[in-house]
Structure 1
Amino acid sequence: MDIFNKTGKMALGSRLRLLTAKVTEDAAKIYELYDVDFSPKWFPVFFVLYDEGAKTITEIAEQIGHSQPSVTKIVKEMAKAGLVKDNLKSMDKRRNVVALTDNGATVAERMIKVQCADIDVAIDGIIAEATHNLWEALAEWEFLLEQKTIYKRVQEVKKLRESKDVQIVAYEPRYQSVFKALNEEWISTYFEIEETDSKALDNPEEYILSKGGRILVALYNGEPLGVCALIKMDDPDYDFEMAKMAVSPKAQGKSIGRLLGQAIINAAKEMGASKIYLESNTILKPAINLYYKLGFQKIPGRPTPYKRANIQMELDLTKLS
């Protein structure tokens, strides 16, 4: 249809629903053709009971990928048509199961041996005429979507596209208020601002830059929405601490944290650092996951000026490719 050529892949769901409606409409006519009083939507439940015998509602739902309420509704409709009986006791008397009635078993035998065989031949004919094998393609798509949903794939594409509009720049005095505001925002959301925070946020030039550190700012379409610092450490084990990373809530999902973290690591490399240290708190799960992705590893606890810090991590730059 021309509409789908215009909409493109955006209308995949609509196109599949239209195709499903056509197939379902034909399926209803086919049941009539074989004098079977049967609804197409019953078939998955009906086939499981025919193929494997009595099952609970839960077992059927898991096997055919439907919700339990949906299966319950179908079972009630099939029971009304005299094809199944529900609320039967299982062999061990501990579960209620659904099973085909004698009439249901008779219908199933006739349907599987005659009707289904004819349908297989007809479908094979379509496959032979088509350039692409839809049946095999469906199996492949089902597998791929099981690994990663369309939603997740679109989310990743959106994040990648938006990340291309992020620019990482060096700190300038005009960014001091943003540096302070973004950090105070996240700290006060989860913890309380401590004296060590105030020193760095109120006087970043004196506390960080003049001592050999760096501050980077992430601009999204020109607006500063993320910051991160590289603080020089007076420590025999570590050259710098990665600290004061903060991203505005309205910039979530644009990979700003990852881009800032990677830029800070690159800056540390350029300055000849061999190890970077950081402190955080385990309730900040997205942040901890980001640090692991950047290559940081958890280390035994060290003395810290922060009450909120309950995890310390390090990044050995000599082991990075």
Structure 2
Amino acid sequence: MDFYQMAGKMAVGSRLRKLSDILTENAAKVYDVYQVDLEPRWFPVFYTLAKTEGLGVMEIAQSIGQSHASVSQIIKKMKKKGLIAEVKDEADGRRSVVELSAKGKEVSEKLEQQMIDVKSASEELLSEMQYDMWKSIEEMEFLLEQRSLFDRVMAKRKEREVQKVKIVDYHAKYQNDFKRLNIEWIEAYFKVEKTDLLYLDNPKSYIIDKGGHIFFAEYDGEIVGTCALAKMDDETFELAKMGVSPKAQGKKIGWLLGQACIDKAKALGTKRIFLESNTRLVPAINLYHKLGFQKVTGPPSPYERANIQMELIL
């Protein structure tokens, strides 16, 4: 079976490269017939200089949509062929620009006849196609500028891995995980306080038995995240003790835990969820904002590290 039939749209880059190789091979034959001493891949740079003299490397790169390094290499090769010359910019003597040399201008004149035939043949080819490839390429370039293929792949990877995350309720067997995950992040940024240990060493008596809940995130059979919903009064719960293992970050585990707490609070008829954090924890603060929390000013915190309070009205 043909590779492209097996791989399908996953091989879009390879398929376009194959098409590019076919067109480049044909272009080389065309240059040879018209006796134009120019490599096909030089054409964008050469044509740009033929239409606008005295350009810097960066200006050319931006014009043709190629990297500065790639254009620099092409210019070096074209200079070696004697097709371009480096001169001082008339507007700024401290700046060097490139332009076609006398030999380059001769090649440009010979290229004119070739371009007439190539343009006509290309238009004929495109007209024979069922779909407008030129517009499709423009559309793909536009879409990739909005969101790269790399970003799209990473998003799909995250979506797939999120499916492997399971949110489970508190069980005595997870007590060590509850403490481990929280100690891990606290010690990474701050110091463990006495109030922390009261909750981390006795989660059942300080949280569960008082009407609260603790959730855990399981990934590939391992507990990698946790978050508590501690009851403050009949109308308010506190979102507390959220911790996600560094090796499991990037899988939306914090979001899933936070959402599980919010859903539980709603089911219990709670009107408000309160939390305390520290502005150094930028990813956590961003997560809370995404979950709908807003900054508020509340009573003094029992934690030294807390410098921001937030709430979510349900």
Give yes or no for TM over 0.5: yes
Q: 1:55 to 1:194 in 2, by over 3 A?
A: same
Matched, 1:78 2:58: no
Q: Relative to structure 1, is the Cα distance of residues 204 and 97 closer, same or farther in structure 2, using a 3 angstrom cutoff?
A: same
Shift in CA distance, 31/262, structure 1 to aligned 2, threshold 3 Å: same
How many residues align structurally? Answer: 314
- Runs of 4+ with deviation above 4 angstroms: none
Report if aligned partners of 1:300, 1:312 keep a CA contact under 8 Å in 2: yes
Q: Which residue of 2 aligns with 1:167?
A: 166
Equivalent of residue 282 in structure 1, options 279, 285, 295 = 279
Sort the Cα spacing of 1:102 and 1:312 in 2 relative to 1 into closer, same or farther, 3 A: farther
Amino acid of the structure 2 residue aligned with 1:208: I
Deviates more, 1:294-303 or 1:265-274: 294-303
CA contact (8 A) 2:54 2:89 kept: no
1:239-268 per-residue CA deviation (whole Å, 9 max, x = no partner) reads 122111111223222221111111111111
Deviations 1:155-189 (A, max 9, x none): 11121122122222211111111111111112212
Question: 1:48, CA displacement in angstroms?
Answer: 2.1
The 1-side partners of 2:65 and 2:300 are apart by 52
Summarize the alignment of residues 134-145 of structure 1 with structure 2, pairs less than 5 Å apart. 134-145=133-144
From 231, 245, 263, the counterpart of 1:266: 263
Name the counterpart of 1:154: 153
Query: Structure 2: where are the runs of 5+ without partners?
Result: none
Q: What is the SS of the residue equivalent to 1:305?
A: coil
| SS in structure 2 at match of 1:192 | coil
Instruction: Give the TM-score normalised by structure 1.
Output: 0.90
Q: CA-to-partner distance for each residue in 1:192-212, whole Å, 9 max, x for gaps?
A: 211121111111111112222
1:25 and 1:210, CA in 2 relative to 1: closer, same or farther beyond 3 A? same
User: Once the two structures are superposed, what CA deviation does each residue of 1:107-162 show, in whole Å capped at 9, x if it has no partner?
Assistant: 33442x42222212212222222222222111111111111111211111121122
Matches within 5 A, 1:246-257: 246-257=243-254
Compute the displacement of 1:277 (Å): 1.7
The separation in 1 between residues aligned to 2:84 and 2:272, in whole angstroms, is 69
What is the letter of the counterpart of residue 249 of structure 2? Q
| Structure 1 residues 35 and 295: CA distance shift in structure 2, 3 A | same
Write out aligned runs for 1:33-112 (5 A).
33-111=33-111
In structure 2, give the amino acid aligned to 1:157.
K
Matched, 1:242 2:242: no
1:213–1:232: 8 Å Cα contact kept in structure 2?
A: yes
The alpha-carbon distance between structure 1 residues 184 and 21, as it changes in their structure 2 partners (threshold 3 A), is: same
User: Is 2:215–2:257's contact at 8 Å kept on the other side of the alignment?
Assistant: yes
RMSD value, Cα: 2.1
**For 1:139-218, what aligned pairs fall within 5 Å after superposition?**
139-218=138-217
CA contact (8 A) 1:301 1:311 kept: no
Q: Aligned pair 1:231/2:230, yes or no?
A: yes
The Cα of 1:234 is off from its aligned counterpart by 5.1
Residue pair 1:86, 1:96 contacting (<8 A) in 2 also: yes
SS in 1 for 2:76: helix
